[in-house]
A and B are shown apart, each in its own frame.
Chain A
Amino acid sequence: MHTKILAITIFAMFAVIACTVSYNNVVWQTNAKSAGEITQAIGYNGLSLSSECTYTLNPILESACQTDVPGGFCYHDSCGMVNPMAVGTPYSLKVTHLDNSTLRQPP
């Protein structure tokens, strides 16, 4: 009885893995098309991650700094800092909706 329950559980998990793999193939085909279209349209753009500057991962061990690409936030003198905030003049945003209601975001 226990063996049967275990066998069913394991094969159910395997089925989930198999379905995930199949779904993954479909998703990545769409992904490839999307990635291709956006890059072709706007040129190479770094992944929208919190930081591609490898120093922010491990300031002690990382020794390389990825090339300065859009979204990379990699400044040669700020790579050693965890929070690369040196981007220049700070801005505030104001959004004016189509119905003329204004939403000012607090700084």
Chain B
Amino acid sequence: MNIRSVNLTKIYFKGSSHEVVALDGANVEIKEKDFCLLIGPSGSGKTTLLSMLGLLTRQTRGKVFYDEQEVSSYSDAWQTKVRKNKVGFIFQQYNLLPQFSAWENVALPMLCSCTKTSERRDQAIQVMTKLGLKHRIDFKVASLSGGEQQRVAIARALITNPEVIFADEPTAAVDDQTAMSIIELFKELKNEGKTIIVATHDKSLLKEGTLHINVNNGSVQQFRDEPF
């Protein structure tokens, strides 16, 4: 899926004395199967750009296109449908639900479909096995390590087989070994034809990207690289 933004702007607390321009006039063009990296220091607007491209928050100005459909003007209900069918999101803080076990968190996106519990469990186990979590299926979130929680979050994003995966600092809170395995996973997903958009300031990811978008103080510069 191709993702494009035109003049994307986000202003928090607009009109007040604490007004913050998180992003100003961002024009990006992400092609299908791109491994796109949003790079920039903390507070630069990476997460804001990621959220707007992933339809988690509405822009103040500008437009977002998915395959030339202006999804940014869709209603809340339609945007939710798009997220459900096309997007997988990996949050920086994992954002797993503590009342559920690992497999239940992974299968959460399937809850709002008409899938039985047994089918959801089977599918969750399948994805978790691929990510090396077979031994943690019924564990509660609180008893998982940071790396395991991150992999559960990744499995949750992958279970619906989305076209686009958005990841916000996926390697920030994990050790180097886990970070390497996550990077390898992203490479595999890229080879499978998925579009991956990662907000990061992890330099070890840089060489993997086919598209670099530098975000600095709300401004955006896009650099398309040759694939490695």
A and B touch in the complex (CB under 8 A): no
Which residues of A are in contact with B by a Cβ distance under 8 Å?
none
